[in-house]
Amino acid sequence: MITVTEPLIAGKNHREGGFRALPFIVATSAFEKVSSYGLLPNMILYLRREYRLEAATGANILFFWSAATNLTPIIGAFLADSYFGRFPVIAFGSAISLLGTFLLWLTTVIPQARPPPCVQFSDGCPSATTLQLLFLYLSFGLISVGAGGVRSSALAFGADQLRKGENIKNAQILESFFSWYYAIASFAVVIAMTCVVYIQDVMGWKAGFGVPVVLMIMSPLLFLLASPFYVKSRPKSSLFTRFAQVVVAAYKNRSLPLSSQVTNEAYHNWKDTVILAPSDKLRFLNKACIIRNPLEDLTPDGRASDPWSLCTVDQVEELKAIVKIIPIWSAGIIMAVTVSQSSFLVLQASTMDRHMTSNFEVPAGSLNVFLVISLVVWISLYDRVIIPLASKLKGQPVRLSLKQRMGIGILLSSASMVALAVVECIRRETAIREGFIDDPNAVVHMSAMWLLPYNILGGLAEAFGAIGQNEFYYTELPKCMSSIAVTLVEMGFSAANLVASFIMTSIDYFTKRGGEGSWVSSNINRGHYDYYYWLLASLSLINFLYYLVCSKAYGPCNAERDNHPDESTSEGID
Domain range summary for the chain, segments of one domain joined by +: 21-117+127-229, 238-311, 319-555
Give the pLDDT band (50/70/90) at residue 261.
low
Average of per-residue pLDDT values in the chain: 83
pLDDT of residue 409 exceeding 90 = yes
Residue 333 pLDDT > 80, yes or no?
yes
Top-level class of domain 21-117+127-229: mainly alpha
Residue 165 has pLDDT above 60, yes or no: no
| Tens digit of each residue's pLDDT (9 = 90 or more) over 427-477 | 999 999 999 888 888 899 999 999 999 999 998 998 888 878 877 887 788
pLDDT average, residue stretch 156-169: 64
Residues 47-63, mean pLDDT to the nearest whole number: 89
Kindly tell me if the per-residue pLDDT of 572 is higher than 80: no
Look at residue 361 and give its three-state secondary structure: strand
Q: Indicate the pLDDT class of residue 357, thresholds 50, 70 and 90.
A: confident
Give yes or no for a contact between 206 and 378, defined as CB atoms under 8 angstroms apart: no
Could you tell me the CA-to-CA distances from 354 to 367, 372, 437 in Å, in that order? 9, 19, 20
Are 28 and 219 in contact by the 8 Å Cβ rule? The answer is: yes
Residue 171 has pLDDT above 60, yes or no: no
Q: Please list the residues that pair with 290 across neighbouring strands.
A: 267
Q: How do residues 530-543 score in pLDDT, each as one tens digit?
A: 999 999 999 999 99
pLDDT in tens, 266-317: 888 876 666 678 888 888 899 999 988 888 888 888 888 899 999 988 889 8
Q: Residues 6 or more apart from 67 whose CB is under 8 A from it?
A: 494, 495, 497, 498, 501
* Torsion of the alpha carbons at 317, 318, 319 and 325, rounded to the nearest 10: 100
Non-local (6+) Cβ contacts of 317 within 8 A are: 275, 278, 279, 478, 573
Sequence-separated (6 or more) residues with CB below 8 Å from residue 289: 249, 267, 268, 278, 310, 311, 312, 313, 315, 316
Summarize the confidence of residues 190-215 as an average pLDDT. 91
**Quick one: pLDDT at residue 573?**
34
Beta-ladder partners of 304: 298
What is the dihedral sign for C-alpha 374, 379, 380, 381?
positive
Q: What is the DSSP-derived secondary structure letter of residue 510? A: H
Does pLDDT of 175 surpass 60? no
Q: How many other CB atoms are there within 10 angstroms of residue 190's CB atom?
A: 16
Task: Select, from the ranges 97-101, 151-155, 241-245, the one with the highest average predicted confidence (pLDDT).
Answer: 97-101
Q: In sequence order, which residues have a C-beta less than 8 Å from that of residue 113 and are 6 or more positions away?
A: 106, 107, 132, 135, 136
Which whole-number Å values give the CA distances from 434 to 438, 439, 525, in the listed order? 11, 11, 11
Helices (H), 40-85: 43-49, 55-79
* Percent of the chain scoring above 90 in pLDDT: 34
Same fold, 21-117+127-229 and 319-555: yes
Is the pLDDT at 100 greater than 60? The verdict is yes
CATH top-level class for 319-555? mainly alpha
